[in-house]
Chains A and B, each alone.
Chain A
Amino acid sequence: MTRSMPPSTLVVQLNDQPGALDRAIGLIRRRDYGVSSLFVGTTGGTSRMVLVVDAAKVHQIMQQLSRLIDVLSVTEVPYEEARMFQLSDTLRRFDHPPAVTPTEEII
C-alpha cells in the first residue's frame, strides 16, 4: 500500500466455527480488497481476525464483512492505537527470509 492515507486496522470477531475464517478471507479475495497484514486467534468461543487494509476501501470492507452471518462484529481501530500493536514492525522481520540455494537445476 503506497497511498498517502495511513492504512486502516480492523478487528473482526467471528463465530469459532469451521469455515468462518474461510468465508471472511474468501470475501476479501473475491472483492479484490488488498490486505497488508492479517492475524488470527481464538478467544473463548469466538475467533478474532486483525487485518490491515486500504483506508480508501475500509468502509466498504467493513460493510461487506458485516454481511457474513459468521461475523459477529467489525471494529476499526484508530490509527494511533493500531500502531501500538506494531504489527507491521513485528512482521517485517520475516520480509527477508534466508536465501535458499536451489538443490537442482531446472533445465
Chain B
Amino acid sequence: MSTTPDPLRRTGAQILCEALVRQGVDTIFGIPGGAIMPFYHALPEYADRLHHVLCRHEQGAGHAAEGYARASGRVGVCVATSGPGATNLVTPIADAWMDSSPMVAITGQVSSTLLGTDAFQETDIVGITVPITKHSYLVRDPAELPRVIAEAFLLAMSGRPGPVLVDVTKDAQQASVVPDWNVPRVVRGYVDHRRQDVDPAAVTAALDLLGGAERPLILAGNGVIQSGAAAELLAFAEHTGIPVITTLQGLGGFPQQHPLSLGMPGMHGWAHVNRAIQRCDVLLNIGSRFDDRVTGKVSTFATQARIIHVDVDPSEIGKLVPVAVPAVGDARAVLTVLLADGQRLPAPTRFASWRREVRELRDEFEPRQAYRRRPDTATLQPHDVYAALDAARQLRGASRVVTDVGQHQMWAAQLLGWQHPRTHITSGGAGTMGFAVPAALGAAMACPDETIWVVVGDGGFQMTNQEIATMVQEGIRNVKIAVVNNGYLGMVRQWQQLFEGRRYSGTPLTGPDFAKLAEAYGVRGMRVDDVAKVDWAIEEAWEHPGVVVLDFRVEREANVFPIVPQGRSIGEMMLDAPTPPPAVAGRA
C-alpha cells in the first residue's frame, strides 16, 4: 500500500470493541467461529479493558450473560459466530426476553455479498430472533456500528429491559472507516416509559382505591428488582401496613423476615398467600405480569379485588386481568410518587383486622407446610438440603443462589429465605433447564467477592455442566453447586404421579457419578446420601477455595407441595399428596 492510512481509521471489528468499551462493558462471554473471527482478531488490542470469557457452548455464553446481568443490574453481553453459533444463543435470548433481562447478543454473519445464498454457516438469525428480542440489527457497514451499539445498549437497559441482537457481517467487521462517535442518544420510534412522568390521574385513582380498601395486598414482581425499588417498597408497605407477596422473580424485592411479608403466590406458592389473594379487595400489582403460574385459572383469580397495575410496559396492563387503575411507569418512580403523597395514604392501623385475618390464614396452613420443610424421615430429603443451606446462608451473609428449573427450583423458592434484591437468580418465564450452571458463571464474574450457590437438579445439571470447565479456566473459585439428585426429571415425574397414575414416561434418569465428574473437571466433588452429613458438606463447600459439586442423593419421589393443578383456580390447592407414594428401594 503506497498511500498513508488515516490514523483514525478502524476496522469494524475494532469499532465494535471500542463501542463496547464506551458502553462500560468489561466482561463478555462467547465462542469464536468463522464469521466472527475479525472481532476476535481485534480483541487482544482491548484485552486490558474487555475480558473475554471463553464458554464451552454458546447457550452457556448466553446464560452467563444473563446471570451477569441479573446479579449486577448491568447489560450482559454474549458473542457467537453465524449459523449454529447464533442459533445456540436462541434459548438464552428467549430466556432473557421472558424474564426481561438486559442483554446484548453479538453474532457474526456471513459477508454481505453472500447474504441470502445459503452460504456456509449462514442462518437468518435476525429473522429467527424477531419474536424474542426487543429489537435486532443487521449491520453491513462498519460506519453504522457506533450508532447501532449505542442503540442496542439503550434499548436493552431502558424501559422494560430485554435482549437486543446485533448481527454483523464479516466484511463489515473487516472494512475500515473513520468512526463517528457522535451518535444520537434517542432511538426513533422508542418510548422509554421509565422516563415519563407518572400519570397524576392514575396516582389519584390508586390513592382513592387504597384509601377505600378494607383488605389490600401488594403483589411485588421482577419490576421492583429491575427498577431498584426495594427500599421504596419497604417504605410504602410500612407506611400503609399492607401485606406484601412476592412472585418467583420478585423474591428478594421485599425482605421475607419482615412481618408484612407473606411469601410467594401461585402454583407452588403458600396456601395462605393464595387464600389471601382470593380474599383481598384491592390488589396493588407492582412490576409483575400476572403470569399463569401466579394466577392459575385467570377468570377465577382475585375475583373480589379491584386491581391497580403498575408496570413499565403498557402492553402488560390489561393483557390478562381486567385492571381498575392502570399506572404506567417503573416501580420505583410510581412508589416514589405514591409516597410523596404520604398523608393521603391509609394509615397502618386501618388494616389491623385484615392483617389479623391473614395471620390466621397463615396459622391455619403453616403447620402442614412446616411439615413439608423437614419431613420426619431417615432418608435424605431435599428439604434437609435446603434447611442446611439456608442456615449456612444466614450465618455467612453475602451469597447468591442461582437455580435451574423444576422441583429443586420451587423448593429453593419456598424453603430458602429471600431478603435482598438480586440474590435469587432463576429462569422463570421461559423455564429453561440448563440455566443455572452457566448463569452462576456469569454471576460469579459480576460478584467475585460473594459465594454463588447453584441449586440444580440432576436433569438440568447434565444439560450445561460443561461450563464448569469455563469456571476452571477463568480461575473462578466462588461457585458451589448443590445437585439435588433424585434420578428423575422430577417435576414432570411429580405431575405423572399426581395426575397421570404414576406413568413415569421419559422421566427416570441416570447420570455419571457427579463427584467423579467434578474431579475430572479439576474441581472438588462430594457425594452426600446421609442426612447427618448435609450440614458438614455445605460448610466444607463454603470453606473450600474452589468450585465444589455436592451430589445430594435425595429421596426419589419427594414432591413439591402445595400445588395448584394446571388450569385450576389458585383457591384449589393440593396441600399434600392424595396418598403417600410407596417407598422406593434402591436406586436405578
Interface stretch (choices A67-75, A76-84, A93-101) = A67-75
User: At the interface, is chain A mostly helix, strand, loop or mixed?
Assistant: helix
B133 to chain A, nearest CB (A): 10
The interface residues of chain A lying within 8 Å CB-to-CB of B187 are 69
Asked if A63 contacts B188 (CB within 8 A), the reply is no
Which B residues between 140 and 185 are near A, CB-CB below 8 angstroms?
Answer: 155
Residue on A nearest B135 in the bound complex, by CB: A69
A16 to chain B, nearest CB (A): 11
Q: How far is the CA of A93 from the CA of B134 in the complex (A)?
A: 39
Asked if B315 contacts A66 (CB within 8 A), the reply is yes
Identify the interface centre among A23, A69, A71: most chain B CB within 10 Å of its CB.
A69
The interface residues of chain B lying within 8 Å CB-to-CB of A68 are 135, 189
Residue on A nearest B316 in the bound complex, by CB: A63
The interface residues of chain B lying within 8 Å CB-to-CB of A63 are 314-315, 317, 319
Size class of B's contact patch?
10 to 19
Identify the interface centre among B126, B130, B189: most chain A CB within 10 Å of its CB.
B189
Q: How far is the CA of A72 from the CA of B190 in the complex (A)?
A: 8
Which B residues between 116 and 132 are near A, CB-CB below 8 angstroms?
Answer: 126-127, 130-131
* B281 touches A (CB below 8 Å): no
Asked if A59 contacts B135 (CB within 8 A), the reply is no
* B313 touches A (CB below 8 Å): yes
Contact of B127 among A22, A64, A67 (CB under 8 A): A22
* B565 touches A (CB below 8 Å): no
Identify the interface centre among B130, B313, B315: most chain A CB within 10 Å of its CB.
B315
* A88 touches B (CB below 8 Å): no
Asked if A60 contacts B130 (CB within 8 A), the reply is no
Identify the interface centre among A27, A66, A71, A72: most chain B CB within 10 Å of its CB.
A66
Q: How far is the CA of A69 from the CA of B126 in the complex (A)?
A: 14
B138 to chain A, nearest CB (A): 8
A53 to chain B, nearest CB (A): 15
Q: How far is the CA of A71 from the CA of B190 in the complex (A)?
A: 8
* B84 touches A (CB below 8 Å): no
Q: How far is the CA of A30 from the CA of B319 in the complex (A)?
A: 15
Q: A19-B127, A66-B314 are in contact. List 19 more A-B contacts (CB 8 A).
A: A15-B188, A15-B189, A19-B126, A19-B138, A22-B127, A23-B130, A26-B130, A60-B315, A63-B314, A64-B315, A66-B315, A67-B134, A67-B315, A68-B135, A69-B155, A69-B189, A69-B190, A70-B189, A72-B189
17 pairs of residues in contact across A and B, judged by CB atoms under 8 Å: A15-B188, A19-B127, A19-B130, A19-B138, A22-B130, A26-B130, A27-B131, A60-B315, A63-B315, A63-B317, A63-B319, A64-B315, A66-B191, A68-B189, A69-B134, A69-B155, A69-B189
Binding site for B on A (CB under 8 A): 15, 19, 22-23, 26-27, 30, 59-60, 63-64, 66-72
